[in-house]
A and B are shown apart, each in its own frame.
Chain A
Amino acid sequence: GNSVTQMEGPVTLSEEAFLTINCTYTATGYPSLFWYVQYPGEGLQLLLKATKADDKGSNKGFEATYRKETTSFHLEKGSVQVSDSAVYFCALSDRTDSWGKLQFGAGTQVVVTP
């Protein structure tokens, strides 16, 4: 079956530091990949997505590249801010599953200190 594995948190960084959150996946088909972010007390917000190999999703300074050869979709940001403190979820949706559901990783909490 499909699965998503993320690096465990919490990840604690100083403001302006470089952030990387690793995400790898297993899929029977050819999935679309997503990063969602959950701020404290809020629902999930779509951060970025990529639908095919070598696509790069980007938003708000975050980037992730769909790497089919390594089955990875690592999230990066060059200079984090305190406002980036949140839980980040990697997820996939598989066309062989009629795009019916998202399979999520366990989430990675990021804490950015001033």
Chain B
Amino acid sequence: DTGVSQNPRHKITKRGQNVTFRCDPISEHNRLYWYRQTLGQGPEFLTYFQNEAQLEKSRLLSDRFSAERPKGSFSTLEIQRTEQGDSAMYLCASSYQVTQYFGPGTRLTVL
């Protein structure tokens, strides 16, 4: 069973550093989504791709955040010049139609 995978699972970084996360969706899923979840809250939408096209970006996604899905398969989410407020769980999901399936997440801690 090849579900959605995310790497790394945990990332600790110092403020001001750049970090990059990777998401591998379920095979043949054409849509890929990124969400952010802070403690005690539900996930908040960041952005999504249909194949390699980035179709929507949330206002939460500041200029320091960039996401790519160059070949319509895996995706990367980069955060530049990290801030302590970026500390959160970053979740990736994929879908073929309506139902989204989530990966285990990458927990980012910015010191």
Closest to B102 in A: A44
Q: How many A residues face the partner with a CB closer than 8 A?
A: 24
Say yes or no: A106 contacts B103, CB within 8 Å: no
Cα distance A11–B22 in the bound complex, in angstroms: 35
Closest to A43 in B: B104
Q: Does A36 touch B at the CB level, under 8 Å?
A: yes
Say yes or no: A106 contacts B56, CB within 8 Å: no
Which of B40, B45, B103, B104 has a CB less than 8 Å from the CB of A103? B45
Q: How many B residues face the partner with a CB closer than 8 A?
A: 25
Dominant secondary structure at the A interface: strand
Say yes or no: B104 contacts A105, CB within 8 Å: no
Q: Does B91 touch A at the CB level, under 8 Å?
A: yes
Q: Does A104 touch B at the CB level, under 8 Å?
A: yes
Q: Does B62 touch A at the CB level, under 8 Å?
A: no
Q: Does B2 touch A at the CB level, under 8 Å?
A: no
Say yes or no: A100 contacts B56, CB within 8 Å: yes
Which of B40, B48, B91, B99 has a CB less than 8 Å from the CB of A34? B99
Say yes or no: B102 contacts A101, CB within 8 Å: no
Residues of B within 8 A of A (CB): 4, 33, 35, 40-45, 48, 55-56, 58, 91, 93, 95, 97-105
Q: A44-B102, A46-B99 are in contact. List 7 more A-B contacts (CB 8 A).
A: A43-B91, A46-B100, A49-B99, A101-B45, A102-B100, A105-B42, A106-B40
